[in-house]
Amino acid sequence: MARGTTYVKIGTPKEIFEGEARVAMTPDSALQLQKLGHECLIEAGAGAAAGFADEAYAAAGVTVVEGAEALWAQADIIAKVRPPSDEEAVRLTESKLLISFFWPASNEALMQLAADQGASVIAMDMVPRISRAQKMDALSSMANIAGYRAVIEAGNNFGRFFTGQVTAAGKVPPAKVLVVGAGVAGLAAIGTSTSLGAVTYAFDVRPEVAEQVESMGAQFVYLDFAEEQQDGAATGGYAAPSSPEFRAAQLAKFRELAPEMDIVITTALIPNREAPELWTEDMVKAMKPGSVIVDLAAERGGNCKLTVKDEKIVTDNGVTIVGYTDFPSRMAAQSSTLYATNIRHMMTDLTPAKDGVVNHNMEDDVIRGATIAHGKAVTFPPPPPKTKAIAAQKPKEKTPELTPAEKRAHEVAAFKAQTKTQVTLLVVGAVLLLGVGLVAPASFMQHFIVFVLAVFVGFQVIWNVSHSLHTPLMAVTNAISSIIILGALMQIGSGSWLVILLAALSVFMAGINIFGGFLVTRRMLAMFQKS
């Protein structure tokens, strides 16, 4: 779609997929789209399931159109959630641009039909995972909601508290939750699970995410397996298929964990492939009665062998397996808001001049990566983006814990080194002072010795304070105060009234800094104390 083609009208039809409650345009996103020079259309009732009434759209300047056929005919750009049905696909003409989830690897015939009819198609599930495209990453937006909702759904089917409790009636242990896959959905599930008080474990084929997992309060499950994993930058930021040896080690670890886990949430997906089977039938049989499995990969075949798409089943040994595929749709208002924002950002890149003129720049990494049909040709799969995704970092080697004997040896060695340094400094300083004293007058030496001692004491005091307990500014001011107050105390017995007055003022002002510092520190610490 070349520069100069004007797409004035953006329309959003009502989703016809059964159970789909999301909508691709909200009243707020419509206001932003209008600022780009576009006119917005919405099919009557399209936002009702997500809680957006036609009146709210009309108040935002959106034209409410009766019937899907009329909307498709009037709109130049069609913004949808689900891929078009066969009935909708035939309405795609050469003058139209479709923006929606599409799953091109699974819908080759539909993609070819759109290309043959001359329509351009941008698949929101194909947005490359580079830093600049995060605001358009609809998969991450939906995965974030799915991860959160998965934990809520697990809790709804779990017969105990997530957090441990000690009551008069007895002790309730905390639930143990395993999250398989630490992508966007996995991290959302980890955050929700830990916030509810569960003991949370997480596994991912990318060991570089271990630090992120542990920072959220979960325990990362490591494998005793040495294999160089593929850099996520080379795969567009997604996980790549693992070797058979790694998979064997992975399954062995899961079999070890299965009897201990109360809740298992699987999120593992590989782009344009069926979901890998990670939780086998024997693992399900090894789980305790009352345990719950939530399979977020159910739409792509499922990570659990026994998952039934769009259903909740209970196995013979009492394990509940949830295979719902509509988690984002169960929070339709939030999902629609995020998805509509993703589309609005995509339209911002497509309309750089904000004049309603679409510049379908196929040299742009984001636009090219997401475009699967353009110029009467299929453009899927896209070439690798020129801008790489964030590269995988090598995991930090964990420093082994020292034994008490080793700790003692280190402390003794550090003490000896510090003592040696201090003795050396004192000897060198004494020699220098002696050299100065041989040539300098006695009145100068009195003041010089006070100055040197003040600097030495101030340096030793401040240097031995932990960096976490003071800022550089505080360290400098306290060092200066120590110098001032020591010098002033030495001079306060002088025979000159002017020197006595200045010394007294110096002690007073240095005292304000010292005691005021204590008061400020006390107030700061009180902010972090639990009442």
Give the range among 322-326, 333-337, 436-440 with minimum mean pLDDT. 436-440
Token pair recorded at residue 222: 């490591």
pLDDT in tens, 488-520: 766 677 667 777 787 788 778 777 777 777 777
Residue 86's φ and ψ, nearest 5 degrees, are -60, -40
Token pair recorded at residue 478: 């306290």
Tell me 457's DSSP state. Answer: H
pLDDT of residue 25: 98
Q: Per-residue DSSP letters for 66-91?
A: SSHHHHHHH-SEEE-SSPPPHHHHTT
Residue 65 binned pLDDT confidence (cut-offs 50, 70, 90): very high
Give the range among 7-21, 144-158, 250-264, 267-281 with minimum mean pLDDT. 267-281
Tell me 16's DSSP state. Answer: -
pLDDT of residue 520: 73
470 vs 223, residue with greater confidence: 223
Tell me 230's DSSP state. Answer: P
> Looking at the annotation, which residues are catalytic?
129, 134, 137, 140, 238
**Structural contact between residues 42 and 65, judged by C-beta atoms closer than 8 angstroms:** yes
Residue 207 binned pLDDT confidence (cut-offs 50, 70, 90): confident
Tell me 438's DSSP state. Answer: H
CA distance 308 to 519: 63
Residue 416 pLDDT > 50, yes or no?
yes
The one-letter code for the residue type at 154 is A
Residue 452 pLDDT > 90, yes or no?
no
Residue 251's φ and ψ, nearest 5 degrees, are -65, -35
Residue 354 binned pLDDT confidence (cut-offs 50, 70, 90): very high
Residue 297 binned pLDDT confidence (cut-offs 50, 70, 90): very high
Neighbours of 306 (CB within 10 A): 18
Strand, coil or helix: 197: coil
Tokens 């997500």 belong to residue: 50
Residue 257 binned pLDDT confidence (cut-offs 50, 70, 90): very high
pLDDT in tens, 16-29: 999 999 999 999 99
Average pLDDT estimate for 167-180: 91
CA-CA distances (angstroms) from residue 389 to 234, 286, 393? 7, 39, 12
Query: Percentage of the chain with pLDDT > 70?
Result: 83
pLDDT of residue 224: 75
Residue 473 pLDDT > 50, yes or no?
no
Residue 228 binned pLDDT confidence (cut-offs 50, 70, 90): low
CA distance 481 to 470: 15
CA distance 164 to 522: 34
Residue 233 binned pLDDT confidence (cut-offs 50, 70, 90): very low
Give the range among 65-74, 227-236, 440-449 with minimum mean pLDDT. 227-236
pLDDT of residue 1: 42
Average pLDDT estimate for 149-176: 92
Give the range among 321-335, 366-380, 405-419 with minimum mean pLDDT. 405-419
Non-local (6+) Cβ contacts of 434 within 8 A are: none
Non-local (6+) Cβ contacts of 57 within 8 A are: 25, 27, 30, 40, 42, 47, 64
Residue 379 pLDDT > 60, yes or no?
yes
CA distance 355 to 4: 10
Residue 470 binned pLDDT confidence (cut-offs 50, 70, 90): low
Query: 396: phi > 0 → left, psi -120 to 50 → alpha, else beta; which?
Result: beta
Strand, coil or helix: 229: coil
pLDDT in tens, 105-152: 889 999 999 999 999 999 999 999 888 999 999 999 999 999 999 999
Pairing assessment for the beta strands 5-6 and 357-358 based on DSSP bridges: antiparallel
Q: Per-residue DSSP letters for 366-420?
A: HHHHHEEEETTEE--SPPPPSSPPPPPPPPPPPPPPPPHHHHHHHHHHHHHHHHH
Q: 5-126+332-378 and 139-326: same fold?
A: yes
Task: Round the average pLDDT of the chain to a whole number and report it.
Answer: 86
Average pLDDT estimate for 208-227: 87
CATH class of this structure's domain 139-326: alpha beta
pTM as predicted: 0.71
Residue 530 pLDDT > 80, yes or no?
no
The one-letter code for the residue type at 57 is Y
Residue 3 pLDDT > 50, yes or no?
no
- Residue 123 pairs with which residues in a beta bridge? 100
CA-CA distances (angstroms) from residue 38 to 30, 77, 156? 9, 10, 44
**Structural contact between residues 485 and 457, judged by C-beta atoms closer than 8 angstroms:** no
Residue 478 binned pLDDT confidence (cut-offs 50, 70, 90): low
Token pair recorded at residue 343: 């589309």
Of the candidates 310, 389, 362, 374, the residue with the CA atom closest to the CA atom of residue 137: 389
Query: 432: phi > 0 → left, psi -120 to 50 → alpha, else beta; which?
Result: alpha
**Most confidently modeled of 11-25, 226-240, 376-390?**
11-25
Residue boundaries of the structural domains of the chain: 5-126+332-378, 139-326, 440-527
2 vs 146, residue with greater confidence: 146
397 vs 163, residue with greater confidence: 163
Average pLDDT estimate for 226-241: 54
CA distance 354 to 363: 19
Does domain 5-126+332-378 fall into CATH 3.40.50.720?
A: yes
